Structure 1
Amino acid sequence: GSNGSAFSARFHSGNVSAGRRGALSLFFNGNTTGNLKRLSYDVINTSGTDSLIVELSTDGGNTFSVIDTAASTAGGWRNKVVFFSTTSANSVLRFTGRADFGSTDIGLDSVRLEELPPCTGSPNAGTIAVNSSSVCTGSVVNFTVSGHTTLQSGLTYKWQESDNNSLWNDIAGTQSATTANYTFTVPANYTSKYYRLAVSCNNGSFVFSNSIQLTVPTISYAAIPYTQSFESVWSNGCSTRDVPEAGFWRNTPFTGNTSWRRDNDTTGGGWTNMNNPAAPTGASASSRYARFHSSILTTGTGTFDLFLNCTTGNATKEVKFFYANTNGTDSLRVFVSTNGGTSFSPIGSVLTTSNATNFWDEVSIPFTSTSATTVVRFVAYATGTNTSDIGIDEVSVSAVDCAQPQNVQVTAITPAGAGATRATVTWNNVAGNLGYEIAFAATNTPPSFGDVVLPNTVTYLDTTNVPANSNAFAFVRTFCAGGATSSWAVVPFVAPCAVGAIPYNEGFESITTANTLPECMSATQLGTLTLTYLSRQTTYFRKPRSGTKFASFLYSTTNRHLFSRPLLLQAGVQYGAEVWYVSDGTNIAGWDSLKLQIATSQSQAGIIQSLARVAPVPNSNVDTNYVRVAGNFTPTTTGVYYLTVSAYGNSAPWYLSFDDLQLAPGNALPVTISSFTAERKGSTNLLQWITSTEANNLGFEIERSADGRNFTKVGYVASSATNGNSTQPISYNFTDALPLTGNNYYRLKQIDKDGKTSYSNIALVKGNFGKELTLTAVYPNPATTTLNVLMNAPAFSKTQIVVTDLAGKVLNTYNYQLNAGDNTLSVNVAALPSGTYLIKAICDNGCESAVKKFFKQ
């Protein structure tokens, strides 16, 4: 039971059909001196949607009215108190349980019914208190009372308000015989008022509580220069500790998770928790900062306004502050109003992520204002992606003689070794400037001076003193009249990798940790499936071609790219490129394409030309030698390029390993096949191809496949070039006299005299599928252990192979699935005695093929 007792009343709602009810009624004589009664009871209902309803009847149970309900009490027993009025001698209290067929029951305990005695003499109005005496439109005001007279019939509680603490008016809707507390939401256009509680007894006596004034904070405009470091405890503006200085700041909303607060105020803002601070400490070695609790929001906006008098000094003003936002897509934007907040304009750029190591970025934004009613507004935006909050610190506003450049960006950075080492730096032009000063360094320490440039919005900056492939910083400041200079605007960026040496050869031997790439190489759209190895693997036969290290792709249905480091290539020069690959794992098809390509950036969008393509990748190279893929590239423009290996899979072909990615001036291809075609000629297929160049060429194996994946050799054509070398076009042809009935896929396997091979693209001759199931041949005949059965099917279907003796007695049956076109089935006949047998096929709709005879040795 409740309160440590042993037993309670119980309604078995957990085992009763949903919606069923059970009532427990208490009959009592309510004809007592006072009409006000008090019911106290404990209830438990730890889960589900079942409920307890409390009803009152004053006519012996003929009619009832609800006076209380109790639903889920997940925390255990809960006490409830209900006040009601009755003077009937035939009063009934009914407790009705309503079932949900859930897992727990409803419990009732510690039921107490008592009469409230009539009030006598003069009651006590007690002392009132309020959650915040400083309020704004939308503030929720909670007045509470302590020490007042309670639990007497004949009492009346009523709240009153006054403009001057002298003339009082009753507040409609606040009169109650049992409840003294008062809550309301501050309406628009609210003015300061006083409040008090009036308590009266039906004997004519009445008393009043103390009074409390609610005030609306007034806006004051701070003189500039102005600074705020947020170190002191915040003041009450529209709520509890919601502004760093009353009058100068406004926080909207002023409470809840979307309100700003000092970073360590655990209760003032009513935040859900204090998790995920923006930074461990404030900026510039300070302790505290202003914080927006974006990390626990899926969406939301918080506005933080600073009111300023900008009539003094130059029209150009500057707001400076430190900003922290180390991850995610949450952001901060600064706006300015010169008409007291009636309208706003954005200044500066949208601030997103800050320095993840040092937490704080210094921000300086100029604006123009001579208004006495200027408002600088900080707006934080939550997107649900951050794991830490947004912070600002060390806010200052002052008039400046020389404004800092804004929107500084560093783009078009030339890699070291690719001619002059330069970067394009842009910014917004500052009005009235006499020029700019630019500097560049490997650290973010502001320099003493920089290079002077003429007034403009773009310049080129020499970056030779910054190491390649490292973090770097560009600095820009403004020159103004009288020798004045602005503060430095600083922008971090990454200095690109130096270009690689030509000839280029990447064998992955420089890596020291698996699943990392050599310096300045990159991979895109690979996730965790970019794999590099330090040695041969024991599973799926992944292995290097040379040295001990290599790279692999695991299959994916998206394009996967491996990019070389930057390479400086000269216009008009032919370069030969190659990469070596081997298919790993079991003999599973699924690699649709392998390409050797050229890109102008390390991204899929930067790929400009395919040099060689293998499609599909042969799956017969399992644990065999690496295969070479090669192509030529002649750039039309001197510049930085990236050699790229790309692959695409459609099922589960396991790993595709790479090694020895190379590029050098010259012709990489021993044979260049300019065209390759295949067409049906009567009952045969004619293949024709032309080579534009040949070097060290031995000849061509012709390979055929029924599915475009599994190829077998069907012929060979020797090179027609003298000694295998030619720079003139040469034509070749080959006739497949016995093509497959269905689709025929052909490719050329070009063979060098030194044994190296490469593959052409695939040519297709579409087949003429039969209209019915056909058993075309059986071999070998006679057979010893295995009989090969050649079937032609009009479509994908199931079939049953039946073996009988000459009398037609069924000896064995075998079930197969057939693809459209030609199929070769292997039938095990090892257990049959020597002799003559018949074999036929039965399709899944009952049709039968012709019968073939075979002999078993």
Structure 2
Amino acid sequence: MKKQFLLFAIAAVLTGYNASAQISLTTLNDFQDGTTQSWTSVGAGTNPLNVADIGHLGAGDNALVVTSTGGIGPNVNLVIQNNTAAWTGNWTTVGVAYISFWANNVGANPVTLRIGVDGGGGQFSSTNGVTIPAGSGWEQINIPVQSGDFTADGGTNIANTLAATTAVRILNSTLPSYNGESASATVQIDNIKPGNVPLPIVLSYFRATAQQNTVNLNWATQSETQSEYFAVMQSPDGVNWQELTRIKAAGNSKTLKTYAWKDVSPVAGDNYYKLKMIDREEVGSYSMVEMVTIRGLNTSIQGLVVYPNPNYTGTLYVTGITDKKLKIFTSLGVDVTSQVVFNNYSDDQYEINIQMLNPGLYYLNTRDGVRAFIKH
């Protein structure tokens, strides 16, 4: 018995076998330990930084900051890689169907994020990338990673690569590429994890933007399987929702599909939007919630209003105030009023410097009411 065990141990060393060296569906890189959790920049580039309190959950949530310079020299491409046991092995046997993570483009240029894999069949890049505009705020990204979702970049057999994966990358490239492309970019990344259930609809993004007294809704899908329709949902308070319209889905698609719809009659003040995505089995899932504030040219707004919302400038305006006692709380109920600076704007308005607040959802409380706002 000892001899057999010794022979097995020697064989394990010679072949690189490790029973624990395998990706797991419980893998999660949330960066709460203060490290990069083995995500490194490729080549001679500067490794990503772990920064506290900037994650998609706001205060107390860590995230990676990944930068690239463009031009010539090290660090010109935005590419991070993980080749540890947590991400390598037989993705097919485990059932990895997509990679999910949160991303925030804080740079001056748009980025197109993709997944790259290397392994037994060579190097490949996800065919469809997710383009994130500059100043996007946090967006949840889901990228399919099954055999039909990749384009070869020097590789010969995607099935062999997914059966014996040796490295995974998150990278910026407008076209499928394992090595990325030269670009000046800064992206924050959080909560990287694999998923095992192929999603009927893999949503690339969902965005709501105000245009005078209307709201433009735009979204795109990475892939769709037996998808039926999108229900556009709206709420004036983020609690009570109504369906505004239904948009027919593509059905089955492995290519990027874009959709758009305009809400021509939003309510005055805050408007919350989300998508309900329905497949042919009448199974539904929801997108993230987007919020915009309407101060329409032809709309008389009464009561307490905060704008611009979402806020990218660091300056928040509050109108319709009768009580000057204002407080600001995080979504967890933490009072952060001391972190902002109040300036009188007029008799019933305030200008508030919120630059010291971490990105996230906040509530402004007064005797006139409560208003939510998002700080990017």
Give TM-score, length-normalised by structure 2.
0.49
Q: Which structure is larger by alpha-carbon Rg, 1 or 2?
A: 1
Higher helix share: 2
